[in-house]
Amino acid sequence: MTHLTANVERFTGSGYVNTYDKYRPQPPTILIDILTQLAQIERPRLVVDLGSGTGLSTRIWAERADAVIGIEPNADMRRIAEEQAEAMPNAKHVRYKEGYSHKTDLVDACADIVTCSQSLHWMEPESTFAEIARILRAEGVFAAIDCDWPPTMNWQAEDAYRRFDEEREKFGEAHGFYRDVKQWDKKGHLARMQASGKFRYVKEIVVHQRELGNAERLVGLLMSQAGLSTLLKNGMSAEELGLPEFRALAQRTLGDEMSPWYFHYRVRLGVK
């Protein structure tokens, strides 16, 4: 499958993955309470995080599960995740392994909870849901966690972010930079989960996370988008893409002072 390599390489580059880890938000910790309650277990024996990236969605489980495994095919992402885990005194039972959502090489029925944070849209649905069902124990819970972009903080900055991202997407598509990349529409996650026949119960919930941000973080958040990173890796300059203008607008509307940002998450849940 050509898109597997293209999807993984889209997130490659030491500078890029450091930006990703620094500026992206962590999933809301309230999800830990929601998922453990749905799984009818106070402390999971094992949580598996598919497409774990730099570990933002994996290490939040460090104090709430006996074991946590992040499955990530991208070596640059795994390196940052492992470095972060090593620096946490409470994360000795958090580990990462190379693998794909359809091929984890974990044993049957080993996990109480499986998550995909900002990653399910990069995964082929049928084989992914089959693998999730295989590694989940009976009545275990799967959660696909997706953030709305951008967060809520300032309407002018949000509007500029959206317009920049739309123009970037059109440019990349027109020049063939995303030719082998394949995504699945996030809005279809729930319907595909239901149609898979792997879950006895599915539903969608919405949760929120409050973090702090300023102009620097908004630019960093934009730079953490792999589509923009792809254009830069293919030789486009910051000036050609309009990054200096975006940076100036971010500074004008947000400045250097930290203010509350509200990240909104759509979570599709499935009980095996």
The tens digit of pLDDT for each residue in 229-243 reads: 888 888 889 999 999
In this predicted structure, which of 30-44, 182-196, 220-234 has the lowest mean pLDDT? Answer: 220-234
What is residue 172's predicted lDDT score, i.e. its pLDDT? 85
Angle between helices 215-223 and 14-23 (to 10 degrees): 130
What is residue 180's predicted lDDT score, i.e. its pLDDT? 81
What integer is the mean pLDDT of 64-90?
A: 95
What is residue 91's predicted lDDT score, i.e. its pLDDT? 87
What is residue 1's predicted lDDT score, i.e. its pLDDT? 58
- Which residues have CB under 8 Å from 197's CB, separation 6+? none
Q: What is the pLDDT of the chain when averaged over all its residues?
A: 94
What integer is the mean pLDDT of 21-40?
A: 97
pLDDT tens for each residue of 31-43: 999 999 999 999 9
pTM of the model: 0.94
Task: Decide: 224 and 23 in contact? Cβ < 8 Å.
Answer: yes
What is residue 177's predicted lDDT score, i.e. its pLDDT? 80
- Which residues have CB under 8 Å from 105's CB, separation 6+? 97, 99
Task: Identify the bridge partners of residue 142 per DSSP, sorted by sequence position.
Answer: 114, 270
Q: Could you give the angle at the alpha carbon of 121 between the alpha carbons of 137 and 129, nearest 5°?
A: 25
What integer is the mean pLDDT of 187-207?
A: 97
SS3 at position 96: strand
Q: Taking 60 as the threshold, does the pLDDT of residue 263 lie above it?
A: yes
SS3 at position 74: coil
* CA 239 centroid distance within chain: 28
Q: Taking 80 as the threshold, does the pLDDT of residue 5 lie above it?
A: no
Task: Decide: 142 and 34 in contact? Cβ < 8 Å.
Answer: no
C-alpha separations of 57 from 44, 181, 266 in Å: 16, 23, 15
Cis omega (within 30 of 0) for bond into 150: yes
pLDDT tens for each residue of 78-105: 999 999 999 998 888 999 999 999 999 9
Task: Identify the bridge partners of residue 259 per DSSP, sorted by sequence position.
Answer: 213
For the 2-150+181-212+260-271 domain, the top CATH level (class) is alpha beta
Task: For residue 272, give the nearest of 136, 101, 143 by alpha carbon.
Answer: 136
Q: How buried is 198 (Cβ within 10 angstroms: 0-12 exposed, 13-18 middle, 19+ buried)?
A: buried
What is residue 2's predicted lDDT score, i.e. its pLDDT? 54
